[in-house]
Homo-oligomer: A and B are copies of this chain.
């Protein structure tokens, strides 16, 4: 029934409108009380440094063999991981631990599963010199870069001098890695007030994720990455993997089997799961975590709901234009992968 307009009705409508608007605006503050926060897009403060870091990220000449780059085990086409239980290193060596995703890793309190590197810059030097991974040395990596005029020029442009040190190499790689964030996950849209961004099952999964206690460790903008926790809290975790976790770093035996809580961002892409890569599927991982960390056996429906929620955490993947690497010069030492 159409009604005639009157000044009073106008005023009433205006107020109702104002209330609705306020309700909408309130949505954000309400969500802000959630134990998970949306993540922001990348902020690039030094584009030349990031671009140099991207080249280094993709450059297999930072390995002894000339075959393995950072991207080999943290593949940006595959959620920043290699989707293997443990990684393949120089001469096909079996890696000791599952490669964690590089995506959103700048949000972590420390790097590596045991947190032995305080930041991305410190981390970046590790695999290059690890005999089981890229199996090079920092000195040889720097020699290689110094032999390539285009790299020399780029380092000079970024760092303002001709030294070209391993510190600059890792700083540039870290600057690139800091751009590898994945905003706009459907769950983040929901957190920001878009109620339709996730469906009823996904919301049920999130509520169960909170009420069951998963969120006690997987919280914050990265749903993890901000604490070390014992793997196998209620029930011991059985594995052949010899990694000791945090105690190997601190020497404190009480921290044995404490690992950095992995992020759940993009977890649909970063299988297999756990530090030993033992869980092939999200369903298995949720089941194991429920039993071992929470003493809880999720029903099939509960498991499916949590898995559905976890799949809402896939954000916009970084858009990477493959770099064209500066060619080696006649002076660059050629890799001998089979020696």
Choose among A60, A67, A76, A281 the residue with the greatest number of B CB atoms under 10 Å from its CB: A67
> Is A327 in contact with chain B by the CB < 8 A criterion?
yes
Q: How does the 8 Å CB contact mask read for A312-337 relative to B, with 1 for contact and 0 for none?
A: 00000101111111011010001101
Chain B residue contacts of A337, Cβ below 8 A: 84, 88, 92
Name the residue on B nearest A333 (C-beta): B280
- Partner among B60, B79, B334 whose Cβ is within 8 Å of the Cβ of A280: B334
Chain B residue contacts of A65, Cβ below 8 A: 84, 88
Are the C-beta atoms of A321 and B324 separated by less than 8 Å? no
Alpha-carbon separation in the docked complex, A165 to B269 (Å): 25
> Is A309 in contact with chain B by the CB < 8 A criterion?
no
Chain B residue contacts of A79, Cβ below 8 A: 327
Chain A count of residues within 8 A CB distance of the other chain? 43
Are the C-beta atoms of A321 and B321 separated by less than 8 Å? yes
> Is A272 in contact with chain B by the CB < 8 A criterion?
yes
> Is A94 in contact with chain B by the CB < 8 A criterion?
yes
Instruction: List the 4 shortest-distance A-B pairs measured between CB atoms, nearest first.
Output: A92-B92, A320-B322, A281-B330, A317-B324
| Chain A contact residues, CB within 8 Å of chain B | 58-61, 65-67, 72, 75-79, 82-85, 88, 91-92, 94, 268-269, 271-272, 280-281, 283, 317, 319-325, 327-328, 330, 334-335, 337-338
Q: List 27 A-B contacts (CB under 8 A).
A: A60-B75, A60-B82, A61-B83, A65-B84, A65-B88, A66-B83, A67-B72, A67-B82, A67-B88, A77-B322, A77-B323, A77-B324, A79-B327, A85-B334, A88-B337, A92-B92, A268-B327, A269-B327, A271-B327, A271-B328, A272-B334, A280-B330, A281-B330, A317-B324, A320-B321, A321-B321, A321-B322
